[in-house]
Amino acid sequence: MNRGDLATIIDHTVLGPTTTGGQVQTTAIEAEQYGMNVCVPPCYLDVACSVAESASVVTVIGFPHGQTTPTIKSEAAVQAYNAGADEIDMVLNIGQIKAENRDVVYDEIAEVVAAVPAPVKVIVETALLSTAEIEQAGSIAQDAGAAFLKTSTGFASEGATEEGVSTLAQYLPVKASGGIRSYGDAMRLINAGAERLGASSGVKILQEAPVSD
């Protein structure tokens, strides 16, 4: 995949616990320069939106553990949308998946999806789930109206894997995230079925990509 095409599917990301406004500004500037999207914490949406003129601005809710209540998640999504977020990446309640509380997980995702007129990506955190649980999460998110499934927060023991991507891709378009540090990493996950990538190494990945096919 050439550099220009690859850039359009990368969410250039800065989400660490020590993230500063200055780092968000730099990341947003890089996203603009290279033609990527930018993914930032909700507290810095004003910074990202002040810089991003053409880049889509993505933010996260329920991050990184997914354990806030559905009402808080939906309210956070509304606040983020009103602050300028173009897309919402929400962490589902992983414990409820493990407890097989399908209705609880469905209701939570559906509430967030209904709250905002923006695409909602559901973060599954594949490293913490069995294959059967990943499939359950994918099925529920699909039924609840999510736009995408996202593999990982980047804060679990493992990030995106080819197996996780291909499993989720049975249900919805997939954003692979976590541990994507090179063009080779990106292409392996794209070939497994990923349609979006979340990476803090967006610039490096694009610099390694061919300029043209």
> Which residues carry out catalysis?
89, 150, 175
Residue 14 is predicted with a pLDDT of 98
Greatest distance between any 2 Cα atoms in the chain: 48
Q: Distance (Å, rounded) from C-alpha 182 to C-alpha 115?
A: 36
Among 70, 37, 65, smallest CA distance to 51 is for 37
Residue 131 is predicted with a pLDDT of 97
Residue 212 is predicted with a pLDDT of 84
Residue 9 is predicted with a pLDDT of 98
Residue 117 is predicted with a pLDDT of 98
Q: What is the pTM of this model?
A: 0.96
Low-confidence ranges of the chain (pLDDT < 50): none
Could you tell me the CA-to-CA distances from 106 to 14, 29, 35, 212 in Å, in that order?
29, 37, 34, 42
Q: Which tens digits make up the pLDDT trace of 74-127?
A: 999 999 999 999 999 999 999 999 999 999 999 999 999 999 999 999 999 999
Helices (H) and strands (E) in the chain, counts: 10, 8
